[in-house]
Amino acid sequence: MLTFDILEYQERLKNTKERMAREGIEVLLITDPANMNYLSGYDAWSFYVHQMLVVIIDEPQPIWIGRLMDANGAKATTWMYDENIMSYPDYYVHSEKYHPMEFIAEILNEIGHGNRHIGVEMDQYYFSAKAYMTLLRKLPNATFKDATSLVNWVRIIKSDQEIEFMRRAGKIAEQSMDAAVAAIHTGSRENDAAAAIYYELIKGTDEFGGDYPSIVPMLPTGENTSTPHLTWSENYFEEGNAVIIELAGCYKRYHAPLARTVSIGPPPERLERLGHIVREGIENVLDRAKPGIYLEELEEAWRESTRKYGIEKESRLGYSMGLNYPPDWGEHTASIRKGDKTELKPNMTFHFIPGLWFENDGIEMSESFVITEDGVDMLTNYPRELIVNSPFHFPDNSSGIIS
């Protein structure tokens, strides 16, 4: 039931331990579910309770510690021996009296690691302030070190199998975008379009099934296109409105995000013009991308292309991504923005999303790509343009695209 060959997991563990050694970390407490999956294979929706993977620099296998009812899931999905799966009783769950980190600290003391240099992911969703304070109190002889993103940086260069998974996710993204475009007309509600997207995302293709993306499809519509993170309402689509669609295909937790903007009926000239500007900017960036350059140079390429039109973009243009769990598919490592000196290398993967949001409108077109030996390769192939839909539904031509 392992997703990757056991040798791939062991290679990942070796790379993690090398980083630990450089940082002076002997024991790494991993609470990011993507990092747990990356090193162990563990895949379950159990991250809403405290759990972790413990990597000990001088031990061959990590230890999984979680809730008793999830231990069988850990045995089923990871490569480690059963004795490396440990669990706490249920009375620790969402209790005001007991905290799972008390239990975990006791284990660390018992197996002789309570006084070592311990790395923790300080700025991570599933490592709360209380979790940290509990460890500090129960492990008074340990020396804690911030290891936020330590494993994330190991993840930044993908294996060929990971890239293949992301290509599958890309296929799923394309068919889901088709379903979205087809569902956007005045006879349909925003949630109907979201349902059509979700069906394709999870059904996948005949060859491979879809997994849930770490972020739900976003569908800001009309005035709400001025902000990127509204999901959907139960309102009917209206003629003359634009709709931004941001979604990601997902295969075995690996993502390929894709964003497009649809105009319901002929677009205002302004939106059409923005569509051309964004497309030109994207193509300039893709032309520049190749191994050896810094990420900030991609931001420069965007700025050179768009400033002649008076466009200034305050927010970052994209980020490294791949394996993840809710609430984010981004990897929290390299960003396409000013000052980012990450050097591009083959098999790095990015979501490039130069969204523009103004006071009353906005536009998004995005691309997911992989760095190759001499340039980039796209993870999704979808017409790179503002999509113009007929406002009305044509059952015989379900996409209803005008242009």
Q: Which of residues 238-277 bind a copy of itself (CB under 8 A)?
A: none
**Does residue 131 belong to the site contacting a copy of itself (CB under 8 A)?**
yes
Return the residues of window 66-85 that contact a copy of itself according to CB under 8 A.
68-73, 76-77
Let me know if 384 is exposed, middle or buried by CB neighbors in 10 A (0-12, 13-18, 19+): middle
- The residue from 58, 160, 234, 396 that contacts a copy of itself (CB under 8 A) is 234
In this complex, which beta carbon is closest to a copy of itself, that of residue 13 or of residue 154? 154
* Cα(67)–Cα(276) distance, integer angstroms: 52
Q: How far is the CB of 210 from a copy of itself (least distance, A)?
A: 6
**Does residue 143 belong to the site contacting a copy of itself (CB under 8 A)?**
no
DSSP letter assigned to residue 235: P
**Does residue 215 belong to the site contacting a copy of itself (CB under 8 A)?**
yes
In this complex, which beta carbon is closest to a copy of itself, that of residue 238 or of residue 287? 238
* Cα(67)–Cα(325) distance, integer angstroms: 18
Query: Which residues, in sequence order, are bridge partners of residue 257?
Result: 248
In this complex, which beta carbon is closest to a copy of itself, that of residue 358 or of residue 394? 358
Q: How far is the CB of 83 from a copy of itself (least distance, A)?
A: 16
**Does residue 292 belong to the site contacting a copy of itself (CB under 8 A)?**
no
> Are the C-beta atoms of 247 and 270 separated by less than 8 Å?
no
**Does residue 237 belong to the site contacting a copy of itself (CB under 8 A)?**
no
Q: How far is the CB of 320 from a copy of itself (least distance, A)?
A: 10
Return the residues of window 312-341 that contact a copy of itself according to CB under 8 A.
314-316, 319, 326-328, 330, 332, 335, 337
Return the residues of window 340-359 that contact a copy of itself according to CB under 8 A.
355, 357, 359
> Are the C-beta atoms of 384 and 277 separated by less than 8 Å?
no
- The residue from 9, 38, 103, 127 that contacts a copy of itself (CB under 8 A) is 127
- The residue from 5, 164, 223, 304 that contacts a copy of itself (CB under 8 A) is 223
- Name the one range near a copy of itself by CB under 8 A: 90-98, 257-265, 372-380, 395-403: 90-98
> Are the C-beta atoms of 320 and 349 separated by less than 8 Å?
yes
Distances in Å between the alpha carbon of 265 and those of 241, 243, 278, 387, 400? Answer: 8, 11, 20, 10, 10
* φ, ψ dihedrals at 166, nearest 5°: -70, -30
Let me know if 272 is exposed, middle or buried by CB neighbors in 10 A (0-12, 13-18, 19+): middle
In this complex, which beta carbon is closest to a copy of itself, that of residue 148 or of residue 372? 148
**Does residue 393 belong to the site contacting a copy of itself (CB under 8 A)?**
no
Return the residues of window 178-207 that contact a copy of itself according to CB under 8 A.
189-192, 194-196, 198-204
Distances in Å between the alpha carbon of 399 and those of 143, 175, 233, 344, 390? Answer: 59, 12, 21, 38, 9
**Does residue 372 belong to the site contacting a copy of itself (CB under 8 A)?**
no
> Are the C-beta atoms of 179 and 172 separated by less than 8 Å?
no
In this complex, which beta carbon is closest to a copy of itself, that of residue 216 or of residue 376? 216
In this complex, which beta carbon is closest to a copy of itself, that of residue 100 or of residue 281? 100
> Are the C-beta atoms of 234 and 281 separated by less than 8 Å?
no
* Cα(66)–Cα(64) distance, integer angstroms: 7
Residue 180: strand, helix, or coil? helix
Query: Which residues, in sequence order, are bridge partners of residue 250?
Result: 255
Number of residues that bind a copy of itself (CB under 8 A): 85
